[in-house]
Structure 1
Amino acid sequence: MKDMVQFGLRIRQLRKQNHFTLRELGERSGVSYSFINSIENNRFNPSRETVIALADSLNRADKDELLLLAGFAPTDEESLDAPSGPGVSNIDDPEVSLFFKDFQSAPRERRDEMLRFWHFIKEQQINRTPDSEQ
């Protein structure tokens, strides 16, 4: 299930945090400023490619979060900090697929809680030093 209201609000928030006008974000992303305005005001749903273009153009944007809010499951090659190497799950993993299916069909409150938990985990990983225990 898409949460386009939250997606539009998050794009606007990130755009303002980056001190971009609609036109500046449009130039950086290759997405027309009028379409970005429509996304921010929940009039249009962006394609997966548009979400990725916007995320790539916005500093501090979490591509996975934006893809999830727009109703798309992120993939390893599209993730900003996608893990790689042996034993790393990808979207073909049944458990990962179930997670995204659960996320998409969950009520808004549950999706918000799942995203908060995801951000908590990512923040803990950023602050972790190489010699600390997991």
Structure 2
Amino acid sequence: MNKVILMGRLTRDPAVRYSQGEHAMAIARYTLAVDRRVRKNNENDQTADFINCVAFDKAGEFAEKYFRQGMRVLVSGRIQTGSYTNKDNVKVYTTDIVIEDQEFADSKGAAAAGNSQGSNQSQYTDDEGFIHIPDGVEDEGLPFS
């Protein structure tokens, strides 16, 4: 099975181009900065991975219209590897996430307020943005079992 789920922030606005031919298709490329859950051992340790993503057709159009640098998004898809020979005749290997589903990870209000790594979190949510459910709440009122 080849399935990837990532949540991260867009490092820049998606770069979109359209394919040639009878049915022009949007191809959006963007990079997600995905935080690592490990603590830094020293000042020079990398704390995030930068993962290349590509969205085709309607997903590409959605990314072009709504995604902007700094937004936190949730994506799922599959890993695709490839290679090509560059102009210097050197073989270059690539790894991309081909997007199958993508959505906003922050509320519209949080994104508009420039919510950066939880700095404007509500008193009702934790650092990951999950809502705290108070003790004594009956299970029947929750939307899941």
TM more than 0.5 = no
- Give TM-score scaled by structure 2 length: 0.24
More strand by share: 2
**Rg comparison, structure with higher value:** 2
- Give TM-score scaled by structure 1 length: 0.25
More helix by share: 1
